[in-house]
Structure 1
């Protein structure tokens, strides 16, 4: 069973949305209300990715992971917004997302997407990388810590559907 990473194309965006919705539902079900997770459908997530990609495809990279021709994960990277409060500084890239099909957990796909994202940062000349992770998502926090990411003390509030969430920023140097 071969894993392949490649840049996303427009025809992938609906499937990315559906995978994103499945991934979030599985990863967040232990700490977010079911109604919050159900508030954002796979179709809505597909529309979200279609719209976002139309604005950001020249400055961001959406990478898909396929196993034997089936979409099993994706990552999304781009420049970190230097205007963001408590900005991590110039020359910083942001890992906006790594999401996997729930059945793909533990198969090395997330690690492959992270390594690929760090290589993209290096190619774009970014020396530091940041990401945001839900504070209650201990599985993801442990995954990022194993990859050399560390919380820097900056936090923010966000929302998933109608549920407020608390997010922690992680940073790491780009190798």
Structure 2
């Protein structure tokens, strides 16, 4: 089930975020590089007005196993986070979160979305490519991340 996250989900979201990062950054970023304030960042995102973005979470059997956060500005969306706990990879959780984000963007009239993906995270890069994300020709890199852009499809029946 995909739903809007609440403050009660913070610990679970922070834990799955840390588990996902530890997996895809393994041997590339020191453990100490885990950003301080992960819970605070997610709390600010959950607290934001829904006209400015949202945090969605995926729940299976009462457990939060994935989360996605996006911002809305000037008719564009920025997918700022999308994480699935590694124990739940390849089960459709990421796709369900992505689909829910795209649906929200369609309802908001968004035509373009952007994100940054860690260049060494081959798994995530393949995921985004399967979902229509392409390199952003205007901004090819964001430090250690590649910038990707999605043309948000029209909603069904439009």
2:107 aligned residue: 123
Q: Does 1:14 align with 2:11?
A: yes
Q: Give the Cα separation in 2 of the matches to 1:48 and 1:119.
A: 24
2:24 aligned residue: 27
Contact 2:5 2:46 survives alignment (8 Å): no
Q: Give the Cα separation in 2 of the matches to 1:30 and 1:110.
A: 24
Contact 1:17 1:47 survives alignment (8 Å): no
1:109 aligned residue: 93
Q: Does 1:36 align with 2:25?
A: no
1:87 aligned residue: none
Q: Give the Cα separation in 2 of the matches to 1:47 and 1:128.
A: 28
2:142 aligned residue: 156
User: TM-score, length-normalised on structure 1?
Assistant: 0.78
1:52 Cα offset (Å): 4.1
1:30 Cα offset (Å): 4.0
Moved over 3 A (4+): 51-54
User: TM-score, length-normalised on structure 2?
Assistant: 0.86
| 1:131-150 equivalent positions in 2, closer than 5 A | 131-150=115-134
Q: CA RMSD in A?
A: 1.7
Tell me how many residue pairs correspond in the alignment: 150
* Cα pair distance change 1:20/1:57, threshold 3 Å: farther
Q: Does 1:98 align with 2:76?
A: no
1:26 Cα offset (Å): 1.3
Gaps of 5+ in 2: 154-158
2:55 aligned residue: 62
Gaps of 5+ in 1: 81-89, 158-165
Structure 2 SS opposite 1:95: strand
Contact 1:5 1:66 survives alignment (8 Å): yes
Q: Give the Cα separation in 1 of the matches to 2:100 and 2:44.
A: 24
